[in-house]
Structure 1
Amino acid sequence: MLTRLVTLLLLIGLACAAESRAQPLTRNVLKGACEKLVIAGRDVSPTCGDSIVNLVQGRRTSFDFTSSDGTTVSFSGTGMPQDRQEEVGVDALQPVSAVILSVKSADGGITRDTLMTVGSCRFPPAASGRATVACAADTQRGRFEGTFTTSSDAAPGK
C-alpha cells in the first residue's frame, strides 16, 4: 500500500512538473503612448506609462497597463475563444474574463485584487509599425479601460 502511495505521489509530481514546463511564459514589452487609462470608473490617463506588457502563458493572455503611482491593471483572458479574423490586417478580439488590479502602497507592499468581468481587448495581428491595443471591461468595482498605441519603430522586447 505504501509503495502504491509513493508511486502515485511521484507520478502526480512528475505530471505537475511537465505541465509547468509545457507552458512557457512569453513576455512582450511594447513601447509607445498610452492614450487612455480608466481604473474603476476614474480616468487616470495622465498617469499612464509609456509601455504596456503583453503576457502569454498557455491559453491565458493579458495586457498590462501601469500608472506612474505603481498601479497595474491587467486585462486577462483565455486565447481559446479569441475571435480570429479571416481578413489580413483586421484586428483580433480577445475576450477578457478577469481584471487584475495591483496597487502599490506607501510602504512598498503590493495588494492584488482579481475582479471577474465581461470585456475584451482588440489588437492588430503581429506586425511592425504603429498598432493600437484597446481593452475595456466592466466589473463590480466599475469600468476599466486602457488604450495604447505603439510607436512606429517599436519592436516587441523580452
Structure 2
Amino acid sequence: MLTRLLTLVLLLGLSCVVGSHAQPLTRNVLKGACEKLVIAGRDVSPTCGESLVNTVQGRRTSFDFTSSDGTTVSFSGTGMPQDRQEEVGVDALQPVSAVILMVKGTDGGITRDTLMTVGSCRFPPAGPGRSTVACAADTQRGRFEGTFTTASDAPAGK
C-alpha cells in the first residue's frame, strides 16, 4: 500500500514538473501540540506554537514551526524520495536540504536566513487518530529540531 501511495505521489509530482512552470502552492495547517523546538542549539520548546504548517510547491516540501515571538523555522527539502526505514517499521524519512530561519525584528521587519544542511523529517508512529512529524538538521549556526503531534479528532476515552 505504501509503495502504491509513493508511486502515485511521484507520478503526480512528475506531472506537475512537466505540465507547468508556475507550480501551485499547497498549504496545510495542522493543529496539535509542539513537543520540541530547538533553534540554533537553544531549546525554546515552551514558546512553540499549537500549529504546524506543511507547504508543498512542485517538488519542494517544508514543515514550518513557529514560536510565540514570531520566529519561524522551516525544514525544507525535495518531496522525493521519502525512504521507508525498515529497521523501525513503517516510519518514513523525508530528506531536508535547507533550514529557513525567519526572525521578526523589533521594528516589525522579517529577517530571512537560508541555511544549507543535511537533515531529515521523520514520521514516527503516534497514538490513534494522531500523526507526528519530527525534524532535525545540523547547520553552520547550530542544531535545529522540531517535533509536533497532531491533535486527535477522536473523543476522549476511545
Which TM class, normalised by the smaller chain length? 0.7 to 0.9
Identical pairs, percent = 91
Aligned residues: 131
Structure 1, gaps ≥5 residues long = 1-17
Please report how far the alpha carbon of residue 91 of structure 1 lies from its aligned counterpart in structure 2 after TM superposition.
Answer: 2.5
Amino acid at match of 1:19: H
Map 1:111-150; keep pairs closer than 5 Å: 111-123=111-123, 129-150=129-150
Please report how far the alpha carbon of residue 47 of structure 1 lies from its aligned counterpart in structure 2 after TM superposition.
Answer: 0.2
Map 1:86-125; keep pairs closer than 5 Å: 90-123=90-123
- CA deviation digits over 1:92-128, x for unaligned, max 9? 2100000000000011100000000010001269xx8
Please report how far the alpha carbon of residue 81 of structure 1 lies from its aligned counterpart in structure 2 after TM superposition.
Answer: 2.4
Which of structures 1 and 2 has the bigger CA Rg? 1
Q: Give me the TM-score of the superposition, normalised by structure 2.
A: 0.78
Map 1:73-92; keep pairs closer than 5 Å: 73-84=73-84, 90-92=90-92
Q: Flag the structure with more relative contact order, 1 or 2, with Cα contacts below 8 A and sequence separation at least 6.
A: 1
Amino acid at match of 1:61: T
Alpha carbon RMSD of aligned pairs, Å?
1.9
Contact 2:124–2:134 at 8 Å: present in 1 too? no
Structure 1's consecutive aligned runs of 4 or more residues displaced over 3 angstroms after TM superposition are none
Aligned-partner SS, 2:137: strand
User: Residues of 1 paired with 2:26 and 2:76: CA distance?
Assistant: 14
Contact 2:66–2:73 at 8 Å: present in 1 too? yes
Aligned-partner SS, 1:90: coil
User: Residues of 1 paired with 2:48 and 2:146: CA distance?
Assistant: 9
